[in-house]
Amino acid sequence: MNLWCCLWFNREEEDKEAVIHDERCQLVEPGMNNNDDEDIFGNVNSDEDEEIEAGNYEANFRREFLIDGFDSWPAVRRSIGESSSVSAAVIPNSGPESPVADENRDSSHKRAKFYNECNFDDLASTSKVNYSMDYADFDSSIQPSNNSCYGDFALVCSGEDGNGVEDGGGNDDDNSELADQEIVRMDLTDDLLHMVFSFLDQNNLCRAARVCKQWRAASTHEDFWKSLNFENRDISEEQFEDMCRRYPNATALSISGPSIYLLVMKAISLFRNLEVLTLGRGQIGDAFFLALPDCTMLRELHINDSTLGNSIQEISIVHERLCHLELTKCRVMRIQVRCPQLKTMSLKRSNMAQVVLNCPLLLELDMGSCHKLPDAAIRAAATSCPQLVKLDMRNCSCVSDETLREIAQHCPNLGFLDASYCPNISLESVRLPMLTILRLHSCEGITSASMAAIAHSSMLEVLELDNCSLLTSVSLDLPRLQNIRLVYCRKLADLNLRAISLSSIQVSNCSVLHRINITSNSLQKLALQKQDSLTTLALQCQSLQEVDLSECESLTNTVCDVFSDGGGCPMLKSLVLDNCESLTSVRFISTSLVSLSLGGCRAVTTLELTCPYLEKVILDGCDHLENASFCPVGLRSLNLGICPKLNILRIEAMLMVSLELKGCGGLSEASLNCPLLTSLDASFCSQLTDDCLSATTRACPLIESLILMSCPSIGLDGLCSLHWLPNLALLDLSYTFLVTLQPVFDSCKQLKVLKLQACKYLTDSSLEPLYKGGALPALQELDLSYGTLCQKAIEELLSCCTHLTRVSLNGCVNMHDLNWGHSQGKFPELPGISILSIASSYENNHVSSEQPIRLLQNLNCVGCPNIRKVFIPSTAHCSHLLFLNLSLSANLKEVDVACLNLCWLNLSNCSSLEVLKLECPRLTNLFLQACNIDEEAVEAAISKCTMLETLDVRFCPKISSASMGKFRAACSGLKRIYSSLSTSSA
C-alpha cells in the first residue's frame, strides 16, 4: 500500500535545503491556461528541463512549492521504496516529447482518478493539513502559524494537488504498478464539472479541491470566487493582498476586525470591479472615504459597529454610483453624504449628532434609534430627499409634529412611516395622502383626534396602534385598509371601522372596549378573546368565516342576531363563545354555521339551534341548561355532558349516529328523530320514562348499543319497546329496579352483551330463560357483578350458556368455592363448571361427544368474600380460558389451577392465600401483590410455568430479597420481578 506523507517546513529548513536552481521555481498546472508556456499565475516557463536529484528530492520538491513569495507550504514526500516516476510526474518543465507533456496537452478530457489504496482522511490527519478555502475551517490546534494557515489556503488555489495523488503520466514501472491497483474512474468534462460546482458554497468547493487536479482546477475558478468573505479571519496584510491579486475580478468583499482599515485600503487599490463592500468592528480612517470614489463600480457599502474617521469629527461619503449605504451602530460626530444615485440608506442605532444628505434619488431612509439626532437634523435630512417613499424614525424621541408636516410637504410620495416610540407626535394637521403603512407603537401623543389625520391617508393598508395609552376611540373609513392592530390600548372604548378590504384585525387586552362595529368585504377571521367589557358587536362582513369571542364575559344575547341569517355574516362557519358567562338564551338560525362552541357558558338555560349544516357543537360546562332544541342540525354525534337540569330535549338530525345524555338527570321529555342513530347512552337519566324510551325506539330503529344504567324509571313497558330494535347488540340495565327480563329474552335475539350489575331485585329464577329456554343465543358477555343470585342459579347459568366468552361475578356474596374437579364426567361440587370443558386432541382423557364445547375466555371473580378454594384441574378441559381474576378475595386460601392456555392470573390482595399450585405452561403474568404466601410455595408454583415473564410479589411479608434469585432459578424465562424491596428487575 502506497502512503503519501505531507510535512511542514519552516523558513530555516527551506533555506538549508533550497540551495540550487532559480529564485522562483514554477510548477506547471496543465490545462489551466490556453498558453502551455504559462502557469496559473501567468509566469512564463523555461524551455529547459529541470533535473531532480534523487539524493536531494525533498529539497527540490519543497522548493517547487515556493511560489510568488509564499512562506509556508506543505510538502509531499515520497515513501520508502516509492517509484521515482512520481518525481517525473511533478517536473515543472517537462519537454514536449515527454509522456507528461503529451498527457498534459489534453487535460480537459482527463479523468478524475480515485485511488482506493490511499486514505485521504488518514493522510490529512497525518500531515495536519486542512485544505480549505475558508479560514474558519482550520483547527487552531494544528496551525503552526498564521502563514501556515494561509499556505493551506493558497495550496488549493495553486498548481499542486493537495492530497499527494499525482494525476500525470509516469514511466513504465509506475504504469505497471498502477495497473495492479484498483482504480475507480469517473469521466466528467470541464463544462459539466463547472456546472455542478456552481451549486456548491465556498466551503464545499474547498473540500472538492482535495479530490484531484481536475476538481481543484474547477473549484478555484474565479466564477465561484466573486464574493470573498474575510469576516472573523486572522489574516495578515500580505496574505490578503495575495488573495486580492489572485482574484482581481471579485465583486463582493466582507472584512471585519481591528485590521480592517489596512485591508480595505489594499482592496480599494486592487479590486476594480468591486460592487459590494461590507466592513465591521473596527476603525475606518478618513483616507478610506477619500479613496472611496476610486471604486467606480461600487454599488453597496455596509459598515457595522465601527468608528468612522480619525478624529471622530466629520466624514464625507461621496460616490457617483453608490446605490445602497448602510451605517449601523457607527460612531461619528457628523456625516455628509453626497451620492446622486443612492436609493436606500440606513443609519440605524448610529451615534451621530448631524446628518447632511445630498441624495436626490433616495427612496428609503432608516434613522431608527439615532438618539442623538435632534429634531432639526432629522427634518433637514428627510426633507432633502424629495423622492423618499420609506422613512423609519422609530425611537427618535425628539421628533415633533412640525417635522412630520415638513416631511409631508417635501416628500409627497412617502408610503411607509414608522414613528413608533416617538412620544411627541400626535399627527395633528399632518396630511400624508400616499401613505400605505403606518406604525405608531407606544406613541403617547396619539389620541382620538389623531384619527382625523389618519383618515386623510386614503391609500393606507396597514395601521398599527399598539400600546397607545391615550387612545379612547377609533373611527376610520379607509377603503384600502387590510391590516389593523390594537393591542394594549387600555383606554380604547369604541372601535368603528369601515374598511372594505380589511382582511386581518388584531384587538386584544383592551380592557374597556365595549363597542365594535366593523364593515368589510374581505375579513375572513375575527378573534376578540378576553374583551371583558365588550357588550355590543355589529358586523357587516360578507366573507367572515371564523369568529372567536372566548371569555368576552359581558356579551349579551343580542350577539346571536349578529351571527344568524340576516345578521351581516352570511358565510360564517365557525363560532366560539366559550366562557361568555352573560349569555342566558342562545338562539341561532343559520344556513352556513358548521361549528359552535359554548363551553363554560354556565348561565345558558335555553338553547335553540336551527342550523341544518351544523356538524359540531360543544356544550361542556353548560350545567344550567333546561331546554335544548336541535331542529334540524347536521350533527353526526352529540354529547350533552352533564346537564342535570335539562328537562326537555328535541333533536332532528338525519345523520346522527351517536348520542350521549349521560348525567341528564332531570330529562323527562325527549323527542328524537334520528333514523341513523346506532348508539344511545342515557346513563343516570333518572327521570327517563317508559313512554320516552318507547318513542325513541320507534324513531331510531337502527340502535345497536343502548345504555340505560341507573335509569330507575324504566319498567316493563319500556323493555317491551325493545322489539323495535332488531339490531340491538349491547344492553346495559345495571343499577335498575327490574324484576324480570322476559321482554329482553323475547325481543333481543341479536344481543351479544348484557350488563346487569347491582340489579338486586332480580330473583333466582330471573335468568332461567337463559340456561333453560335457550334465550339470547348470540350472547357472549354477561355481567352479574354485585348481584344477589344464589349459588345454584349461578352454577346452572354457567353450565348451560356454552356460548359465553366473558363472565363477571365481581362482588357476588353467594359465590362460593370453585371446585371444578372431574369425577366420571361430572362435577359434583360445581356441575355447571363443565362449560369450560372441551375436547382436546392433546389429552388422553375421554370426553363424551355429547358434552358441548365451552368458549369461556375471561372469568372475573373480584372481591368475592366467600371463595376459599379454587380447584381447576386439567380434566376440566378449560382450554379457552385466558384470563382469571380472583383479586380482593380476602378469604381465599388455596389455588390449584391447571389450564393449558391461561396467560394472566391475578391473586392480588388475597391476604389469606397459603397454597398455590400451578400447571399453566403458557402463563406470562402472575400477580401476588399483598398475599400472605411464603417463598417456597411461590417457587414451586412458578417452576411449572415455563413462559412466565412478569411476577408481582410486592408487599408480600413472607418473601425476602434473597428469594429473587430462587425465583429466577425456578423459572428461567422470567423477565420482570416487582417487589417492595426492589422496584423492578429485568
pLDDT of residue 625: 94
- Residues 892 and 886: beta-carbon distance below 8 Å: yes
> How many other CB atoms are there within 10 angstroms of residue 762's CB atom?
21
Place of cell 431612509: 365
pLDDT of residue 598: 95
pLDDT of residue 819: 77
Q: Find all residues with CB under 8 Å of 647, minimum gap 6, and list them.
A: 626, 627, 666, 667, 668, 669
pLDDT of residue 222: 86
Tell me how far the alpha carbon of residue 468 is from its chain's centroid.
Answer: 35
- Where the chain has pLDDT below 50, the residues are 1-183, 822-851, 983-986
pLDDT of residue 114: 35
Q: Find all residues with CB under 8 Å of 850, minimum gap 6, and list them.
A: none
Report the helix count and the strand count for the chain, using DSSP H and E: 24, 54
Long-range contacts of 318-326 (CB under 8 A, 24+ apart): 318/289, 318/292, 318/293, 319/292, 319/293, 319/295, 320/293, 320/296, 321/296, 321/297, 322/298, 323/299, 324/299, 324/300, 325/300, 325/301, 326/300, 326/301, 326/302
pLDDT of residue 90: 34
Tell me how far the alpha carbon of residue 865 is from its chain's centroid.
Answer: 53
pLDDT per position as a tens digit, 439-471: 999 999 999 999 999 999 999 999 999 999 999
Percentage of the chain lying above the pLDDT 90 cut: 58
pLDDT per position as a tens digit, 565-592: 999 999 999 999 999 999 999 999 999 9
DSSP for 138-152 reads S-GGG-S-HHHHHHH
DSSP for 151-170 reads HHHHHHHSSS-TTS---S--
Give the integer Cα–Cα distance in Å for 83 and 79: 9
Tell me how far the alpha carbon of residue 444 is from its chain's centroid.
Answer: 40
Give the integer Cα–Cα distance in Å for 943 and 948: 9
pLDDT of residue 981: 67
- Residues 975 and 986: beta-carbon distance below 8 Å: yes
Collapse the DSSP code of 545 into the 3-class scheme (helix H, G, I; strand E, B; otherwise coil) and give the result: coil
Q: What are phi and psi of 964, to 5 degrees?
A: -60, -40
> Exposed, middle or buried: residue 227 (CB in 10 Å: 0-12, 13-18, 19+)?
middle
pLDDT of residue 773: 82
pTM of the model: 0.70
> How many other CB atoms are there within 10 angstroms of residue 809's CB atom?
24
Give the integer Cα–Cα distance in Å for 517 and 434: 26
